[in-house]
Amino acid sequence: MTRSTVSGATAKSRSRRSRVLGRLAFLGPGLTYLIVLLLIPLALVLSYAFFRRGRFGGVIYELTGENFTRLFDPLYLDVLLGSLKLATAATLIALLFGYPTAYLIARLPAKWKTIALIAIVLPFWTNFLIRIYAWIVLLSGPGLVNTLLGKLGLGPFEFLYNDGAIVTGLIYSYLPLMVLPLYAAIEKLDPQLHEASANLGAKPARTFVSVTLPLTLPGVITGCMFVFVPSFGNFVIPELLGGGRSIMVGNLIRDQFLTARDWPFGATLAMALIAVLIVLLLLQSWSARRA
């Protein structure tokens, strides 16, 4: 092997090493964040799922699988199904309101489009708890809604502390997460497709079903996931607007950690919740690729 060949190989090795170090320098902060704040806590929670609860709380480090068999207790299955029902209802209603809203925003002039988008995200500028407490003020017995209905000779009605109040809070909190991906999908549509559909004799409803909806399906799926995932594990809204009468998975996990002090079973419930959400995200990814 000649000296020039050895020098060339050394230069390539140094170049490759420099590229690897450069990539690590860029990826280092993100990887550190993921490892320290996501993977290590997740591994810790997963490990707790295989241990026993202490007699007075805490964890006994004896391996067991009984925490996973408890998941199939009808009591916990009812909580899971109830959470699915409320999260699905919130997602579908958010889609019902979000799609026409996103469609109208996408058809506005550029100046009004910007203002409308700011208005959509404006609630996020206020603290989440303040917004939920504002709903309590609005929906309570002597609140604004009942006062207005009273002037019309209606009511009073009990709007708080039921499933309807929970769904209302979920829709209000996560509706922008439905509108924004739908707006992005609708905005990308080529207007010439609508013109071509109209030239071929299709009415607006047929154009929507055959052209607009299929092409915006990735936005629909993404928006539904953005609303469903935080709704499914939410525990603040069921506590405040539901008055604790409807227990969702998030409330159950919190109670296991803070009230029952059954950390192993709380960890098992948390891992089950994460597993369900991972499956849903994989389905969303698969659907988006096929759309």
DSSP string spanning 154-212?
------SSSHHHHHHHHHHHHHHHHHHHHHHHHHTS-HHHHHHHHHTT--HHHHIIIII
Report the C-alpha gap between 110 and 165 in whole angstroms. 36
User: Both 101 and 221 in a single domain?
Assistant: yes
Residue 192 lies in a domain: yes
Residues 164 and 252 in one domain: yes
* pLDDT of amino acid 291: 64
Query: What percent of the chain clears pLDDT 70, i.e. is strictly above it?
Result: 96
What are 121-174's pLDDT values in tens digits? Answer: 888 888 888 999 999 888 888 888 888 888 888 877 888 888 999 999 999 999
Q: Which segments of the chain have a pLDDT < 50? A: none
Q: What pLDDT shows up at residue 179? A: 95
| pLDDT for the residue 267 | 93
Whole-number Å distance between alpha carbons of 1 and 218: 57
SS3 of residue 60 by DSSP = strand
Residue 5 resides in a domain: no
Residue 243 domain boundaries: 68-290
Query: Would you state the pLDDT for residue 3?
Result: 60
pLDDT at 1: 53
Structural domain count, the chain: 2
CA 285 to chain centroid: 14
Residues 109 and 171 in one domain: yes
- 111 with 143, same domain: the answer is yes
**pLDDT (0 to 100) of residue 110:** 85
Do residues 231 and 90 touch, judged by C-beta distance below 8 A?
yes
If asked whether residues 191 and 271 sit together in one domain, one would say: yes
Q: Is 287 helix (H, G, I), strand (E, B) or coil?
A: helix
Give the dihedral sign, CA 110/113/117/119.
positive
Is the same domain home to 128 and 269?
Answer: yes
The closest of 271, 253, 234 to 84, measured between CA atoms, is 234
36: DSSP letter: I
How many other C-beta atoms are found inside a 10 Å radius of the C-beta of residue 67?
A: 22
- Residue 32 and residue 161 in one domain: no
Q: Using CA atoms, how far apart are residues 267 and 251, in angstroms rounded to an integer?
A: 13
Query: Are residues 210 and 271 located together in one domain of the fold?
Result: yes
